[in-house]
């Protein structure tokens, strides 16, 4: 690598942000063209509950109640997490 160049580091993505590397790279590739504002994406992923939701959804769609089941919070509180993820365009819902 030449002076003034940057490269991706070999950090532990799973350990650092709780999302597997493949899911994280899918999110980052998606951001520049479709995300309204990258700061919304990073804000959404700053919370461990929301990172866990993205990780669980990486394997396929799930019902809200199924997604909420492992978390110790009321469903309306969990729905607020989904709203943040949806506003960042990291997830979408069918109603």
Q: What is the pLDDT of residues 10-64, one digit of tens each?
A: 545 555 556 666 777 776 666 655 545 778 888 998 999 999 998 888 888 899 9
Q: What is the pLDDT of residues 59-92, one digit of tens each?
A: 888 999 999 999 999 999 999 999 999 888 888 8
Nearest to residue 49, comparing CAs of 74, 83, 89, 18?
Answer: 18
What does the pLDDT read at residue 40?
A: 84
Nearest to residue 90, comparing CAs of 46, 40, 19?
Answer: 40
User: What would the two tokens of residue 80 be?
Assistant: 């607020």
| Whether the predicted pLDDT of 6 surpasses 60 | no
High-pLDDT (> 90) share of the chain, %: 29
- Residue 82, sorted as left (phi over 0), alpha (psi -120 to 50) or beta, turns out to be alpha
Contact 17, 45 (CB under 8 A): yes
- Rounded to whole angstroms, the Cα distance separating 93 from 95 reads 6
């Amino acid at each position: 690598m030449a002076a003034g160049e940057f490269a991706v580091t070999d950090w532990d993505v799973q350990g650092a942000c709780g999302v597997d590397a493949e899911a994280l790279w899918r999110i980052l590739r998606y951001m520049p063209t479709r995300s309204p504002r990258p700061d919304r994406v990073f804000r959404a992923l700053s919370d461990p509950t929301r990172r866990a939701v993205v990780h669980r959804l990486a394997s396929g769609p799930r019902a809200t109640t199924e997604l909420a089941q492992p978390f110790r919070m009321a469903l309306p509180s969990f729905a607020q997490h989904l709203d943040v993820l949806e506003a960042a365009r990291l997830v979408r819902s069918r109603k």
